[in-house]
Amino acid sequence: MLAILIVLTASCLSPSAAQSTVADANVHWARVLHKYVNEHGQVDFCGLANDQADLRAYLDYVERVSPQSEPAAFPTRKDAIAYYINSYNALAMYNIIASGRPKALGWLTRLRFFGGRRFTIGGTAMTLYTYENSVIRPLGDERVHFALNCMVVGCPQLPNQPFSGEHLDAQLDASARHFFSEPRNLQVDLAGGTVRVSSILKFYQDDFLKRSPTLIAFINRYMAREIPPDMKIEFIPYDWTVNTQERVCQAVT
């Protein structure tokens, strides 16, 4: 299969004959997740770098087909959102490899990672920043922020199975509940009157407040025990360390 993917500056690699349906393409993505993502959401980037066939096959499909280029292939809004989440995560995963498997996304590395490297998605070249902010976020489902993954420790846990239109609501709700169940993302100090929450809620605060009056009200949608509404909110610093399986692969600095 011909190489796919990255458009560096103005160049574009030739597409190959890939799978013709979303279901067929998702088989490849499911194999990647099953084989290289563990139960903690950590990725074996070392192993994946040496076995990219399934990832490339999936992204070959993404290169040619999207809800914008072939809307008939995505009959519902949920089908489109599932595609966008899966493809964003796969592109970010590939981007770690293409970036030389850095130990962390420092400031300059982040600029290149999100805004410097362009990918072809459904025939249109764009960066990950543009993809998230101009294509995915305008769809208006704030739960995607608990599913989109840029492969660093501060991200939500990466599941080891694809998102699907059929099960999207249940999957996104489960992702949100799991996110707020992790102490790394939510710490409630009742005695001190303080809630410390992931900086994701700061980065995308406008999205979370579209249908909730406060961030605490939004968080309480996914809590078995509600947080008092008058608590003070603080944000946990974001961890840009690449979420690799260190015991399997020592990241390249």
d(CA 148, CA 143): 9
| Whether the predicted model's global pTM rises above the 0.95 cut | no
pLDDT, residue 223, reads 97
All structural domains of the chain with their residue ranges:
6-177, 184-236
* Strands, E assignment, 15-127: 118-121, 124-127
Question: How buried is residue 118: exposed, middle or buried, by Cβ count under 10 Å (0-12/13-18/19+)?
Answer: buried
pLDDT (average), residues 199-220 = 98
Question: How buried is residue 112: exposed, middle or buried, by Cβ count under 10 Å (0-12/13-18/19+)?
Answer: middle
pLDDT, residue 247, reads 54
pLDDT digit string, tens, across residues 121-156: 999 999 999 999 999 999 999 999 999 999 999 999
Question: How buried is residue 18: exposed, middle or buried, by Cβ count under 10 Å (0-12/13-18/19+)?
Answer: buried
User: pLDDT at residue 2 above 80?
Assistant: no
Residue owning tokens 């249109």: 124
